[in-house]
Amino acid sequence: MTGRGQPPEVPPPEPPGGGEDEYRSVVFDEAFIRAARLQEFSAQERMGEHAQAVRPRPGRGGRRTGARQALLLVLLVLLAFGTAVYLGVRNPYQIPQVQPTEPLRSTVVRLVPEGPVPGGPAAGLFAHSPAAAYRTGAAGIVLPPAAATTSFSEGQVRAALGIAKDYLVASSLDPGVLAGRTVGPARTLLDPDQQPQFDRSVGGTSRDDGRHAVSGWLVRFDPHQAVLADPAVRVQGAVHYAEVAGDQLEVTSDHTFTYAVRPAASGKAPADRASLYTVHRELRFRFDRQDLQTHRTELLISTVEAGPQSCDTDTSGALRPLLAGERADRTHPAVTDPYTTGQPAPSALCGVLAPKAQPSP
């Protein structure tokens, strides 16, 4: 037995839950202590002049990590900016700003014959005229090879040339357009912003003001005066293209169209009553990328020389050829007063048709 006053040789009972387990949740390991941002002063230091019980620890990983992240962000911004500048300089197919659509400016010059208009069978007239070697119809509109420009690919240039040819065919060769029965084939190829001007020109309000003459947009004969004697129109000319300022593509066409016409009469006119009528058209088209995507164009300038016809004939609504055996009322242009402002009178825009331009006997 143990003596009185000595504790029994039994370990003292532990508190419920165990001593170490009770404080296990608040024990800090070495890594946690090193990462702390505040450090407690020692007992000896707290006895000194320090009023505070803690002091900030020197920054380690936290500050260095923040600095590295900031530096990385700056580098990413600089890299993105440099990439954007590089691509902006090197990319040849940048998207340009949309340019406003310009209205058509047109000029129609009437060509007056010096004598009576030669007549005869259409085939014989063609064979004895400068159009004898011309191709027939759309085959006469020959396009140049397409090549890429600074801002347009080869395919885009080819598309522009194709649209220009489609407009030339629709406005110069379509039988319905020539006879005045329709204007749709040409209208659908125009930029929507130009269609209102086109509609005013062909809708009965045409006038020779350089903006609203039908002949500036298309070839249309007065159906009450002349009709085609031969549907095979003779054509010859050239097409060119170039990129212009503002990342736009311009196509210019220069063609001569020779038509065999006869008087519009009930019933078929005699075969020997045909005559030739020549229209020289110079057109300038403009394309942006939206035009190429929608298969449309802007017609900027149209210059037309047409004859034989009288100098005082109004061609704002339709062309009115002089037919076989007819003479011009006047062989010289009307007197023009340079002190009169405004647009020139219709009769002032005419010239003399060269004799060699007519079929030889």
Is 193 found in the same domain as 66?
no
Is 190 found in the same domain as 324?
yes
Q: Is residue 328 part of a domain?
A: yes
**Confidence at residue 100, expressed as pLDDT on a 0 to 100 scale:** 72
User: Across-strand partners of 304?
Assistant: 108, 281
Residue 332 tokens, joined: 């010289």
Q: Is residue 116 part of a domain?
A: yes
Of 20, 255, 208, 225, whose CA–CA distance to 108 is shortest? Answer: 208
Is 328 found in the same domain as 180?
yes
Indicate if the pLDDT at residue 296 is higher than 60.
yes
Residue 61 tokens, joined: 């990983």
Of 137, 95, 138, whose CA–CA distance to 292 is shortest? Answer: 95
**Confidence at residue 207, expressed as pLDDT on a 0 to 100 scale:** 80
Query: Where does 3-117 have alpha helices with state H?
Result: 19-23, 30-35, 43-46, 61-90
Domain edge (last residue) among 37, 60, 87: 87
Is 261 found in the same domain as 129?
yes
Domain edge (last residue) among 87, 116, 134: 87
Q: Is residue 177 part of a domain?
A: yes
Over residues 215-225, the pLDDT tens digits come to 999 999 999 99
Amino acid at 186: A
Indicate if the pLDDT at residue 51 is higher than 60.
no
Distance, in Å, from the CA atom of 252 to the CA atom of 90, rounded to the nearest integer, reads 29
| Placement of tokens 């801002």 in the chain | 151
Q: Is residue 55 part of a domain?
A: yes
Is 116 found in the same domain as 68?
no
Distance from the Cα of residue 336 to its chain's centroid? 40
At 95, give phi and psi (nearest 5°): -85, 115
Distance, in Å, from the CA atom of 173 to the CA atom of 232, rounded to the nearest integer, reads 9
Residue-wise burial string across 269-282, b where 16 or more C-beta atoms lie within 10 A, e elsewhere: beeebbbbbbbbbe
Non-local (6+) Cβ contacts of 250 within 8 A are 241, 242, 243, 244, 284, 285, 286, 287, 300
Distance, in Å, from the CA atom of 220 to the CA atom of 277, rounded to the nearest integer, reads 12
Least trusted range by pLDDT, from 50-59, 117-126, 288-297: 50-59
Least trusted range by pLDDT, from 131-140, 168-177, 301-310, 328-337: 328-337
Please count the structural domains in the chain: 2
Over residues 115-158, the pLDDT tens digits come to 999 999 999 999 999 999 999 999 999 999 999 999 999 999 99
Cis status, amide bond into 196, omega within 30 of 0: no
Note whether 167 and 255 are within 8 A (CB): no
Q: Is residue 135 part of a domain?
A: yes
Of 342, 236, 326, 310, whose CA–CA distance to 279 is shortest? Answer: 236
Is 290 found in the same domain as 195?
yes
**Confidence at residue 197, expressed as pLDDT on a 0 to 100 scale:** 95
Is 289 found in the same domain as 142?
yes
Q: Is the dihedral of CA 42, 43, 49, 55 positive or negative?
A: positive
**Confidence at residue 198, expressed as pLDDT on a 0 to 100 scale:** 96
Is 118 found in the same domain as 54?
no
Q: Is residue 5 part of a domain?
A: no
Distance, in Å, from the CA atom of 223 to the CA atom of 228, rounded to the nearest integer, reads 10
Residue 231 tokens, joined: 């549907």
Is 138 found in the same domain as 287?
yes
Is 286 found in the same domain as 203?
yes
Which domain does 47 fall in, by range?
Answer: 27-87
Is 119 found in the same domain as 50?
no
Domain edge (last residue) among 87, 117, 139: 87
Of 193, 241, 219, whose CA–CA distance to 302 is shortest? Answer: 219
The better pLDDT of the pair 260, 86 is held by 260
Amino acid at 234: R
Is 71 found in the same domain as 125?
no
Q: Is residue 201 part of a domain?
A: yes
Q: Is residue 281 part of a domain?
A: yes
